[in-house]
Structure 1
Amino acid sequence: MAGGSFLLLLAIGVPIAFALLLLALVIIALGGNFVLLQSYPQQLFGGLENYGLLALPLFILLGEFMNSGGIGRRLMALALALLGPVKGGLAYVNLMANMLMASILGSTVAQITIMSRLAVPEMEKAGYPRDVSVAITAAGGMLAPIIPPSMMFIIFGVIAQIPIGDLFIAGIVPGLFLFAAFIGVIAWLGRRHGFPRTEPMPFRARLRSAVDALPAALIPAVIIGTILGGIATPTEAAAIASLMAAAIGLGIYRELKLSDIWPAFTRSAASSALVLFLIAAAQVFSWVITFENVPAQVAAALQAMTSSPIVFLLLLNLLLIFLGMVTDPIPAIILIVPVFLPVATQVYGIDVFQFGVIVCLNLTAGLLTPPVGTGLFTAALMGEVRAERLARLILPFFLAVLLVIVALILFPVLSLGLVEAMG
């Protein structure tokens, strides 16, 4: 009944945040626990009383400053200077620049939008097929929610009530592993499509590009370095990085104007408000289903099916793949985590950081899968390529993501080793 009500609300176009709030009321009514209505407004506002959530608007603001300040273009040039003359060089440069951008933006759609403007025209000019160039750019966007900082990690950490900084650390090795897997896919595509060789760059030009990009490269270094070193929390690192991006854009590159500052704040506020309201609704939903003992019921049903943590994670990933095809990652996290996290940690003994990395990576792939696929349609629109054609070209990258997910399931040390090493 409750599930049917939720699907009906979504079918008639009710925004998912309001659908979650109404679903919580339906569950209260079905359970007859009307006393919960007294705490309903308090739970709604209380869902935002979390220090970690301050990082969300700050990272969004960082992306705005970076986009307007010419930082993305310098990171692309830095990647080109570092790589050198190799077959399919611009494809690797695209992926390397995506990794550098992922360590700043943490948003797949924002990253795809920026990189489509920067990388696709250059690749097409160098002789790469346009549709393949767009596919590589879109696939590189899947690095954003797994390499810290990550909007999805922030939201997962808030809902799961775990340290977001530790979750960022847990994503570093899987992110590098995914980057290596994508390198392999690009090498295969290069042989299949005959990618051109990158022209050699004179040493002085290489050095000039590196020096010019140094201020831009300091931003991801400061974010990751301060978090890993215990100098700053993710929220503080986001604030420092935002100030750095503004200062670099205004004072060094001079592409960010004073007149751009206020519009950047307003766009960040609008984007943050949408996500934060969704998180508040999720906290109410989580509170209600916990009170109604839904996680325990799900745990009992799953235990009747399997006692193996590996089988549980494989079954969960099948569900996540389906959810990723029909909804965006943030609503999916909000629906999945309150129900399945207690089952994973308390019944199957799965570490919360391993669970978080696997869930976020799986749902990221959903951004590039039809029929919803926000990232897929963003890339198709920005690159002027048919979405169905792009979906076929992205398939090898999607398979690489699945292989990485299986590796994370079988070898927990990939997501837990660095966290444990750093205490």
Structure 2
Amino acid sequence: MTIVIFSVLLLGAVPIALVLALTALWYIQASGNTVLFDSYPQQLFSAVESYGLLAIPLFMLAGELMNEGGLTKRLIALARIFVGGFRGGLAYINLVANMMMAAIIGSAASQIAIMSRAMVPAMQQEGYSKSYSAAITAAGGLLSPIIPPSMLFVLFGVMAQVPIAEMFIAGILPGLLLGFTFFVTIAVVGLVQQYPRGEWPSRRQALHDLLMGLPALSIPLIIIGGILLGLATPTESAALASLAALLIGRFVYGDLRFGHLPLVLRRTAVNAGLVIMLIAAAGVFGWVVVYERLPQMAAAWIAALTTDPFLFLLLLIGVLLLVGMIIDGIAALILVVPILLPIAQEQFGISPYQFGVVVCLTLVMGLLTPPVGAGLFIASSMTGAPPLKIFRSLLPFLLATLVTLVLLAWQPWLTTGLIGR
């Protein structure tokens, strides 16, 4: 009956945080074990009682300040220096700029919204279709969950009790690999569609864009460098990046006005509050899942299907693709990790870092796939292109992502090599 209540609430368009919290309450009442009501508030609070989760609103704030302070458009101009002259040059610029922004924002949905406003109009002016322009921008959002910093990695690190800094490092090679497969995809599509050759900026313009882009480029360097060199924790790096974005946007570029800060802080607080509320609600739902011994039952079922770690990960990718189509990535992550991570580690000997990267990338694909596809609708609302047309243009990039996922499942060193585990 609990599963029925969960399904009815979910399909009834009830916010996912309320679905999880109300389902947990229903289970306690239906089980007759009402003494668990006394632990309910404690479980809600303990789910968010983690220093690592403070990185989430701080990374959101850094992204908002960069967009408001003009740092985003300087990064786009910087990307033009390196890839602007190739056939389909603006598509490459879009991708490189997305890789830079992925190293700052950490949220796929936020990145799609920001980059859609910045890139799609420019691509349309140079002859690219609106749907293809929106598709490349949306595909760039897939880089956000694996190129550090990543909101999903922060959450996974807290849940799996692994160092968040090491999760970030584990995402570097997969992020570069996914970026490479996207470059190849753009090259093939550009040849087939005969998109126009871009123009290399003049030496004078390139020097100007380079000098203007270096302050903006310091933000991802602060975040990643601080973590890799052990100078700052991910949370401290996020705070430093927010401060740097504020100072650069105000005193270097002059685009940010202090009068804009209340609106920036309000947007950050609302978005972060939604995420934290979801984490708290999922905490009590996960508590019920563990109490019901669902991980042990799932382990027995999966062990009967295969004993090969690679096949297990392929099964996992298939299942999570379906889950991600229906449930938000953060909610799905909170639901599946308590059930599947113990199975991956104990039954198959899979590293939590490999598991985390594969799960996070698979779930975020749900942002771009119907029927829910929040990322599709964000890109559509920002550009005016129909969601189904964007999805059709996205198919080559989704295929490239699946190829990357298979490689990550097949070769564990792609995720564990840089951390030596």
Q: Taking structure 2 as the reference length, what is the TM-score of the superposition? A: 0.97
Give the corresponding residue for 1:147. Answer: 147
Aligned counterpart, 1:203:
203
Partner Cα separation in structure 1 for residue 331 and residue 104 of structure 2: 23
CA distance in 2, matches of 1:295, 1:24: 17
- Paired residue for 2:232? 232
Q: Is this contact kept in 1: 2:113–2:379, CA < 8 A?
A: yes
Shift of 1:56: 0.6
Give the residue type in structure 2 aligned to 1:253: Y
- 1:61, distance to aligned residue in structure 2 (A): 0.8
Cα drift, residue 161 of structure 1: 2.1
Task: Give the CA deviation at 1:6.
Answer: 0.4
Separation (CA, whole Å) in 1 of partners of 2:267 and 2:132 = 32
Q: Which amino acid aligns with 1:99?
A: M
Over residues 361-401 of structure 1, what are the superposed CA-to-partner deviations in whole Å (9 max), with x where a residue is unaligned? Answer: 00111111011111111112212211111111100100001
Distance in 2 (alpha carbons) for counterparts of 1:27 and 1:92: 50
CA distances 1:27-50 after superposition (whole Å, capped 9, x unpaired): 334544333222121111111110
2:178 maps to a residue whose letter is: L
Which position in structure 2 is the counterpart of 1:246?
Answer: 246
Of 289-298 and 184-193, more deviation after overlay is shown by 289-298
Q: What's the CA shift for 1:346? A: 1.5
Alignment of 1:242-321 (within 5 A): 242-321=242-321
Q: Does 1:42 align with 2:42?
A: yes
Alpha carbons of structure 1 residues 122 and 13: separation in structure 2 relative to 1, 3 Å? closer
C-alpha RMSD over aligned residues: 1.3
Residue number in structure 1 paired with 2:67: 67
Q: Distance in 1 between matches of 2:237 and 2:388?
A: 39
State the AA in 1 paired with 2:280.
Answer: A
Q: Give the letter aligned to residue 252 of structure 1.
A: V
- What are the residue-to-residue correspondences of 1:349-368 with 2, within 5 Å? 349-368=349-368
Contact 2:47 2:279 (8 Å CA) reproduced: yes
Deviations along 1:62-86, one digit per CA (max 9) or x if unpaired, are 1111110001000000000122522
Tell me whether 1:162 sits opposite 2:146 in the alignment. Answer: no
Task: Specify the alignment match of 1:178 in structure 2.
Answer: 178
Give the Cα separation in 1 of the matches to 2:127 and 2:12: 46
What fraction of aligned residue pairs are identical, expressed as a percent? 51
Instruction: Specify whether residues 63 and 84 from structure 1 end up closer, same or farther in structure 2 by C-alpha distance, changes over 3 A only.
Output: closer
Corresponding residue SS for 1:74 = helix
C-alpha distance in 2 between matches for 1:305 and 1:35: 38
Distance 1:387 1:15 in 2: 22
- Are the counterparts in 2 of residues 354 and 415 from structure 1 also a CA contact under 8 Å? yes
In 1: Cα distance, 2:139 partner to 2:291 partner: 40
State the 1:331 CA deviation: 1.2
Residues in 2 aligned to 1:175 and 1:158: alpha-carbon distance in whole angstroms: 21
1:128 partner SS:
coil
Count of equivalent residues: 421
CA shift, 1:294, in A, is 1.4
1:232 partner letter: A
Structure 2 residue 56 is matched with structure 1 residue 95 = no
Give the 3 Å change call, closer, same or farther, for CA 30–305 of structure 1 in structure 2. farther
Higher alpha-carbon deviation: 21-30 or 176-185: 21-30
Structure 1 residues 256-280: Cα deviation after superposition (integer angstroms, max 9, x where no partner) = 1011112211211111111101111
Q: Structure 1 stretches of 5 or more lacking a match?
A: none
Q: Indicate if the aligned counterparts of 1:159 and 1:283 stay in contact, CA closer than 8 A.
A: no
Corresponding residue number in structure 2 for 1:323 = 323
User: Contact (CA 8 Å) 2:84, 2:90: kept in 1 or not?
Assistant: no
Tell me the residue number matched to 2:128. 128
Q: CA deviation at 1:195?
A: 1.2
Distance 2:29 2:292 in 1: 11
Is 1:380 the counterpart of 2:383 in the alignment?
Answer: no
Q: Distance in 2 between matches of 1:347 and 1:29?
A: 33
Q: Give the conservation status (yes or no) of the 8 Å contact 1:88–1:196.
A: yes
> CA offset at residue 249 of structure 1?
0.7
Amino acid at match of 1:299: A
Q: Which amino acid aligns with 2:159?
A: I
- Asked whether the equivalents of residues 69 and 255 of structure 1 are also in contact (C-alpha less than 8 Å), the reply is yes
Q: How far is 1:297 from its partner?
A: 1.1
CA distance in 2, matches of 1:208, 1:58: 31
TM-score normalised by the chain length of structure 1:
0.97
8 Å contact kept, 2:295–2:342 = yes
Amino acid at match of 2:290: T
Q: Which residue of 2 aligns with 1:420?
A: 420
For residues 18-29 of structure 1, the aligned pairs below 5 Å read 18-29=18-29
Asked whether the 8 Å contact 1:31–1:292 carries over to 2, the reply is no
Change (3 A) 1:8 1:279: same
